[in-house]
Structure 1
Amino acid sequence: MKTANLAIVFTDIKGFTERTSRQTLEENQRLLQVHEALLAPLFKAFGGRIVKSIGDAYLVTFESPTQAVLSGIAIQDRLWHHNRAVEAPEQLHVRVAINVGEVRLDGNDIFGEPVNIAARVEGIAEAGEVYFTEAVYLSMNKAEVPSKEVGAFELKGIPGKIRVFHVPRAPYRVEAPSAAAIAEAPGAETMPPFGNLALSRVAEAAAAPSGAAVDLSELGQRAAAGAAVISQRAAAQASVLGQQAAVLGRQARTVGGSLFSRGVAALPPKVQRHRAWVGVGVVVLLAGVAMLAFGGDETVRAIKAVERAPEEERAALAKDVRTLIMKEEEAGRRNFLLGRLTEATGKPDDALKVYATAVKAGSRAAEDRLIEMLSHGRCDVRSDAASTVSRLQLQRAVSALEDLQEDGGPDDGSRTGLFGLSKCDSKQAAESALKGFKGR
């Protein structure tokens, strides 16, 4: 049997299984067509050979580890551009994992431990990131690709710990917004995650394929039409709510005026002479009651409204709420609210990254939320939360991590990752996170 030393790349769409259960067969097929049209040309542009694809997952080989990593970051930047042009339901968020080693060749397929390791690394990779093993790090051209160690991991079925690296986010050696501009709007996506470092090397035809199996412009028109429908629905609902609010306001004014008149009439004559001041006191009292009843925070109420909205309408509503959040001057609170909004749109895993940014900006509320997410109902969210608090060295989370290490969750053991080769284990994630804390 033939063997070859190759770089192995695994990719898959985060949350794909959950999405397919909510979408029609036609919508699923269109999603996969867009996925193929965006990724396949970039694999080929960097010299990759697509070995197989199953649903949302790709297995690709490269002769050059450097080219393999460059293809991964080109894909992430290409998806960033794509996601900015479509509504949330049409967006694609992909994991990329890379390993290198000697594999067995059997026809068009490949086998061997390097393949298994790459699949395991894909299981711990985060959406929007490019993870790769120490073997890739040692063999790639470091002058072409920035890198940073994530940590050493015990991967199921693999002896010893595997050191894992990732490509850090821009800016580095590419044009990017100034540090001051980024500091003014942390958490806001003002540039591609990897600064087009690899995408700029690709011919325009590969970066934005024209003769692909799916007409991307047509899909864009469909997405725009869908957005218009959502906007019309939101506008209609806003109109109805506005009319209802006006009616309630008139009723409240009538009833309130009547109650106020009766209340003043019941007061002693000396007090009645100062009815204007009594009115001011009543207004202040009612305002206080209203703040208690409605939370006293316009932004928080708006986020809760997104959370309660029908799923197909959340993306349109979230845009307006995001605009409101960006008016917050304090960075920690702004990013905490962005995290809550991300959760409200059904993306708790993405919210973890935003909360991490908020914690770095000094948000105590974001710390509390990260700790709460260690008991989330989803195994992958608990596991990612454990990794996040460990990276942040959030000592307040140690007790919650110890509880997670002991109890885990009801869905521990569920299949995840490429081809279902990985199992989610939040207990093990908590154990690894605790080992990452300094001074323990």
Structure 2
Amino acid sequence: MVRSCDCTIDGGAYTARALKTANLAIVFTDIKGFTERTSRQTLEENQRLLQVHEALLAPLFKAFGGRIVKSIGDAYLVTFESPTQAVLSGIAIQDRLWHHNRTVEVSEQIHVRVAINVGEVRLDGNDIFGEPVNIAARVEGIAEAGEVYFTEAVYLAMNKAEVPSKEVGAYELKGIPGKIRVFHVPRAPYRVEAPAPSAIAETPGSESMPPFGNLALSRVSEASSPGAQVDLSVLGQRAAAGAAVISQRAAAGATVLGQQAAELGRQARTVGGSLFSRGMATLPPQVQKHRALVGVGAAVVLAGVAMLAFSGDETVRAIKAVERAPEEERTALAKDVRTLIMKEEDSGRRNFLLGRLTEATGKPDDALKVYATAVKAGSRAAEDRLIEMLSHARCDVRSDAASTVGRLQLKRAVSALEDLKSDGGPDDGVRTGLFGISKCDSKVAAESALKGFKER
């Protein structure tokens, strides 16, 4: 439909380009907490998340007649000719994700927001523009994860006999004049035959059934075009493949942890052997009589004691396991260890352990910053580690460590700085930086740090 023209004058010639508009339902979706999630994941994990997300959502958009205009990261912009089909697609998505999330770990679950508006939009190539699009985007900003929100315009245009609804409230949306009434689809069970909101009975928090009772998901085959019916089992195949990769990775990580534990046990046996002999002498006489029977068990227990004594607490041992793991497995293992570390209440110790974990993943330069934070929180262990890093094998790490202890004014580091100033390291003078135009010199860094001590 042509509503107006975009008229320009080019070299005296008057040209007109028709503007096409259409009345469409606009759907926005995005993943709750996606930005925060990506900061804690590897690029590979982010890519896998988005692949599973696409596998779950895209077929349902198409099954209900939607056209995916574009996707940016975790967000989709989709248009429908029917407001009713648009809302049904949102309901189907939430129920499909409910089924999916029951089969994966909490950390791999996907929770999305769905927001819908309807109105006349401007078509420009494959893209769409106009206030209806802006309103849909604003409604998405107030929508809750797991919900399907839509505007009054959608409520008035959709078939209420097919979609139950309930008003959420009237909102002032940024950049939009006046208040916009917003509705949502209430949770099942409800009396589908009664379109009025008063006829809807909600049971919030029910976990025994999908949030919307498969109201729309059960109609996927019906909604699909002939020859392109969508089976629910097919919808999950690509997502299941993604989940399988995740499970394989977790299993590989568990194998590596097991290998590290075995290695720790092997190292502990030497110490455990002597402890075992001494430990048996302290056992009650009635136990010593069964020395041959309890020998293996006692050896295991005493070896465990030795491992505790020489390897530190549970978190430190876990960090060492990350350090000894193959490089390609460290990032995955480090995620679990980080969760363990974050339970530590003392800020100084927590940041010291995070620094050790950062080092274990092969990032000593980043660890320096974390240690500095730990020192400011009163961690003596972090001070010791910073001083140790003044003798690191890498020139850039030594130099950064010197600068860090200088900024922190660690008087205990003066002796180590003087040694570094005198001896430097084997790789001093190595060219670094863009195009190799700079040289690393840890001696100069140490001298500068010492000068800072004297000036203060």
**TM-score normalised by length of structure 1:** 0.48
Q: CA RMSD in A?
A: 15.9
SS of structure 2 residue aligned to 1:183: coil
Q: Deviations over 1:276-299 (max 9, x none)?
A: 999999999999999999999999
Going from structure 1 to structure 2, the CA distance change for 1:277 and 1:215 (only over 3 Å counts) comes to closer
- 2:315–2:340: 8 Å Cα contact kept in structure 1? yes
1:174-230 Cα offsets, whole Å, 9 max, x none, are 6999999999997351001111111111129xx999999999999999999999999
Is 1:369–2:385 an aligned residue pair? yes
Structure 1 window deviating more from structure 2 (124-133 vs 272-281): it is 272-281
State the 1:55 CA deviation. Answer: 0.5
Contact 2:52–2:239, Cα closer than 8 Å, also in 1: no
Give, in angstroms, the shift of residue 29 of structure 1. Answer: 0.9
Q: 1:149 Cα deviation (Å)? A: 0.2
Q: Structure 1 pair 409/184, CA: closer, same or farther in 2 (3 Å)?
A: farther
User: What's the counterpart of residue 136 of structure 2?
Assistant: 118
d(CA) in 2 for partners of 1:69, 1:353: 49
1:140 to 148, 158, 170: 158
TM-superposition CA deviations, 1:417-439 (whole Å, max 9, x none): 99999999999999999999999
Deviates more, 1:254-263 or 1:185-194: 254-263
Say whether residues 1:179 and 2:204 are aligned partners: no
Which is worse superposed, 8-17 or 425-434?
425-434
Asked whether the equivalents of residues 387 and 416 of structure 2 are also in contact (C-alpha less than 8 Å), the reply is yes
Given the superposition, is the C-alpha separation of residues 350 and 40 from structure 1 closer, same or farther in structure 2, using an over 3 Å criterion? farther
Q: Is the alpha carbon distance of 1:122 and 1:385 closer, same or farther for their aligned partners in structure 2, counting shifts above 3 Å?
A: farther
1:127-175 alpha-carbon deviations (Å, 9 max, x no partner): 0000000000111111110000000000000000000000001001369
* Alpha-carbon distance change, 157 to 199 in structure 1, aligned in 2, over 3 angstroms: same
Give yes or no for contact 1:148–1:167 (8 Å, CA) kept in 2.
yes
Deviation at 1:274, TM superposition (A): 37
Counterpart position of 1:216? 232
String of CA shifts for 1:10-66, please: whole Å, max 9, x gaps. 000111111111111111111111111111111111111111110000001111111
The equivalent residue for 1:232 is 248
CA contact (8 A) 2:191 2:200 kept: no
**Deviates most, 266-275 or 396-405:** 396-405
* Pair 1:4–1:329, CA change in 2 (3 A): same
Contact 1:54 1:419 in 2 (8 A): no
Q: Which runs of 5+ in 2 are unaligned?
A: 1-18
State the secondary structure of the residue aligned to 2:296: helix
The farther-off stretch of 324-333 and 239-248 is 324-333
CA distance in 1, matches of 2:233, 2:373: 35
CA drift at 1:310: 20
Q: Deviations over 1:228-256 (max 9, x none)?
A: 99999999999999999999999999999
Given candidates 106, 120, 125, the residue that maps to 1:107 is 125
Which moved further from structure 2: 331-340 or 71-80?
331-340
Aligned-residue offset at 1:381: 39
**Residues 273/24 of structure 1: CA separation in 2 closer, same or farther (3 Å cut):** closer
SS of match in other structure, 1:436: helix
Deviation at 1:90, TM superposition (A): 1.5
In structure 1, C-alpha distance between the alignment counterparts of 2:153 and 2:444, rounded to whole Å:
24
C-alpha distance in 1 between matches for 2:438 and 2:117: 16
Change (3 A) 1:427 1:274: closer
The more displaced of 348-357 and 226-235 is: 348-357
Deviation at 1:87, TM superposition (A): 1.0
CA distance in 2, matches of 1:13, 1:47: 22
Task: Answer yes or no: is the 8 Å Cα contact 2:260–2:324 preserved in 1.
Answer: no
Name whichever of 417-426 and 42-51 sits farther off. 417-426
Are 2:104 and 1:82 equivalent residues in the alignment?
no
Alpha-carbon distance change, 154 to 201 in structure 1, aligned in 2, over 3 angstroms: same
Consecutive aligned runs of 4 or more in structure 1 exceeding 3 Å deviation: 173-188, 207-440
Q: Matches of 1:88 and 1:431 in 2, distance apart?
A: 51
Structure 1 pair 7–178 and aligned structure 2 pair: CA distance change class (3 A): closer
| Unpaired stretches in structure 1, ≥5 consecutive residues | none
Query: 1 CA distance for matches of 2:157 and 2:436?
Result: 29
Aligned to 1:394: 410
Secondary structure of the residue that 2:236 maps to in structure 1?
Answer: helix
Match of 2:170, SS?
A: strand
Name the SS of the counterpart of 1:128 in structure 2: coil
2:400 — aligned with what?
Answer: 384
Q: Tell whether the 8 Å contact from 1:10 to 1:119 is kept in structure 2 after alignment.
A: yes
Quick check: 1:86–1:224 contact (8 Å CA) kept in 2?
no
Aligned partners of 1:408 and 1:427 also within 8 Å: yes
After superposing the two structures, state which structure 1 stretch, 418-427 or 109-118, moved more.
418-427
In structure 2, do the counterparts of structure 1 residues 123 and 240 end up closer, same or farther at CA, with 3 Å as the change threshold?
closer
Moved more, 417-426 or 429-438: 429-438
Range moving further from structure 2, 239-248 or 166-175: 239-248
Q: Normalized against structure 2, the TM-score is what?
A: 0.47
CA contact (8 A) 2:25 2:83 kept: yes
Q: Higher relative CO (CA 8 A, sep ≥ 6), structure 1 or 2? A: 1
- Output one character per residue of 1:376-404: Cα deviation in whole Å (capped at 9) or x when no partner: 99999999999999999999999999999
Q: Which has the larger radius of gyration?
A: 2
Residues 350-392 of structure 1 show CA distances to partners (whole Å, capped at 9, x for unaligned) of 9999999999999999999999999999999999999999999
After TM superposition, the structure 1 stretch with the greater mean CA deviation from structure 2, 224-233 or 92-101, is 224-233
Distance 1:125 1:412 in 2: 56
Q: Using the TM superposition, name which of 68-77 and 385-394 deviates more.
A: 385-394
- CA positional deviation for 1:85: 1.1
Tell me the number of residue pairs that the alignment of Structure 1 and Structure 2 aligns: 438
1:109/1:230 CA distance change after superposition, 3 Å? closer
Deviation per CA, 1:307-359: give whole Å up to 9, x if none.
99999999999999999999999999999999999999999999999999999
SS of 1:327's partner is coil
Instruction: Name whichever of 216-225 and 91-100 sits farther off.
Output: 216-225
3-state SS of 2:150 partner = strand
* CA distance in 2 between partners of 1:251 and 1:231 (Å): 30
Counterpart of 1:161 in structure 2 is 179
Find the residue that maps to 1:214 and give its secondary structure.
Answer: coil
For 1:29 and 1:299, how far apart are their aligned partners in 2? 29
- Higher deviation after alignment, 286-295 or 120-129: 286-295
Change (3 A) 1:332 1:115: farther
When residues 40 and 239 of structure 1 are mapped into structure 2, their CA distance, relative to the original with a 3 A threshold, is closer
> Compared with structure 1, are the counterparts of its residues 411 and 173 closer, same or farther at alpha carbon in structure 2 (3 Å cutoff)?
farther
Judged with a 3 Å threshold, the aligned counterparts in structure 2 of structure 1 residues 88 and 438 are, in CA distance, closer, same or farther, namely: farther
CA distance in 1, matches of 2:429, 2:132: 23
Partners of 2:163 and 2:192 within 8 A in 1: no
Q: CA deviation at 1:302?
A: 21
- Range with greater deviation from structure 2 (377-386 or 83-92): 377-386
**Alpha-carbon distance, 1:86 to partner:** 1.0
